[in-house]
Amino acid sequence: MTLAEQLKSVIGQGMVWENEPMKNHTTFHIGGPADIFACPETEEGLIRGLGWCREAQVPFYIIGNGSNLLVGDRGFRGVIFKICRNLDALEIQESDKEADEVWLRAGAGVMLAKLAKDISFRGYTGFEFATGIPGTLGGAVTMNAGAYGGEMKQVIESVRAVSAGGEIRELSLEELELGYRTSRIQKESLIVLSVLMKFKRGDREAISARVEELSRQRREKQPLEYPSAGSTFKRPEGFFAGKLIQDAGLKGYRVGDAMVSEKHSGFVINAGEATALQVRQLMADVDREVYEKFQVHLEPEVRLIGEF
């Protein structure tokens, strides 16, 4: 049996492919082939797959929607596990229709924007900021994603996660150690399985208006018409990455088809057939120019994996 066939027999339900182009699974539309690409349909299958990788000493990486990821042009040597629509169960716990609060447990694979729309439609507030964020819930927790004054740590009660060794843990909000684009999940390479969140009842019309306003701002200010990985750099303390890049005269700067967006300088876009090497070079050029002008380094928010 090939390694892919072995993994398929281990995870049970779910698809397994060999030499799968990662450009088909990232919002950048960039990336070479993963040796093995797997989509387990159950938590148990995922955990068994992780165990198989550990025993077979095969490297692996977990992705959600691939929205914060740059995969090298030569691909990834090992297994990519995709947690997306295959692990997106949703369970709402409310005592009665007049309850002021609602507890919701969602699978790591649910799309954040879909979840935000669902929560808002039900008349609960606190998740409007997630409207339009293109990642999955698991990825959002890992990075403590946020926008427009909100972030994940404001709504999380606890997270169910599994370690690379197969140990399942339930981590409280405090244990998650959530900070700006960081978490214990990230530091210890844990894998989010599901998230328990709490929201409050609000005015449905006001919530809907806020969601529409944030959606409008995203359309007007972000280059949604181009493939990208969202904000390319983290916000340096005391500064805004996009403003620094713009003030350095780099709006529209490009390396091949990798380009600093002319609409929002904090975004690097794929303006055609950009390669991972071009994007990485552009990011290095931008960091260098910004440092020379302002003595501020830009740390990537986008994760780089694979062989370039």
Query: Residue 279's domain is classified under what CATH number?
Result: 3.90.78.10
Q: Are residues 169 and 237 in the same domain?
A: no
Residues 27 and 51 occupy one common structural domain: yes
Residues 67 and 188 in one domain: no
Domain termination site, one of 219, 248, 276: 219
Same domain assignment for residues 105 and 212: yes
pLDDT digits (tens, 9 = 90+) for 189-237: 999 999 999 999 999 999 999 999 998 999 999 999 999 999 999 999 9
Choose, from 48, 181, 184, 210, the residue flagged as catalytic: 181
The pLDDT of 234-248, averaged and rounded, is 95
Clarify whether residues 73 and 178 are in a common domain: no
Of these residues, 231, 235, 265, 280, which one is catalytic? Answer: 231
246 lies in the same domain as 144 = no
Same domain, 51 and 93: no
Average the pLDDT over 4-26 and give the result.
95
Q: Which residues have a Cβ under 8 Å from the Cβ of 148 and sit 6 or more positions away?
A: 128, 129, 214, 217
Asked if 8 contacts 211 with a C-beta cutoff of 8 angstroms, the reply is no
Alpha helix stretches (DSSP H) within 148-256: 173-176, 184-187, 204-221, 241-247
Question: What residues contact 123, with CB distance under 8 A and at least 6 apart?
Answer: 201, 202, 203, 204, 207
Same domain, yes or no: 69 and 161 = no
Position 99 scores a pLDDT of 67
Residues 45 and 67 in one domain: yes
Condensed to tens digits (0 to 9), the pLDDT of residues 101-148 reads: 889 999 999 999 889 988 998 899 999 999 888 889 999 999 999 888
Residue 130 backbone class (left: φ over 0; alpha: ψ -120 to 50; beta: rest): alpha
Domain-terminating residue out of 171, 194, 219 = 219
CA distance 307 to 276: 10
Query: Residue 8: which domain range?
Result: 3-83
pLDDT of amino acid 301: 94
Mean model confidence pLDDT for the chain: 93
Annotated catalytic residue within 41, 160, 301, 303: 301
Q: Do 41 and 61 have their domain in common? A: yes
Contact in structure between 18 and 133 (CB atoms under 8 Å): no
Indicate if 195 and 241 belong to the same structural domain: no
| Domain boundary residue, one of 83, 101, 125 | 83
Rounded Cα gap, residues 264 and 180, in angstroms = 21
Per the confidence metrics, is the pTM higher than 0.95?
A: no
Number of domains in the chain: 3
CATH classification at residue 108: 3.30.465.10
Residue at token pair 């390669």: 275
Residues in CB range of 257: below 8 A, 6 or more apart: 270, 271, 272, 273, 274, 275, 278
Q: What is the pLDDT of residue 148?
A: 85
254 is catalytic: no
Rounded distance, CA 98 to CA 83, Å?
34
Confidence band, pLDDT 50/70/90 cuts, at residue 95:
low
Question: Are residue 94 and residue 214 in the same domain, yes or no?
Answer: yes
Burial of 220 (0-12, 13-18, 19+ CB in 10 A): exposed
For residues 162-177, average pLDDT: 93
Catalytic residue list contains 231: yes
Give residue 1's pLDDT band: very low, low, confident or very high (50, 70, 90): confident
Which CATH number characterizes residue 70's domain? 3.30.43.10
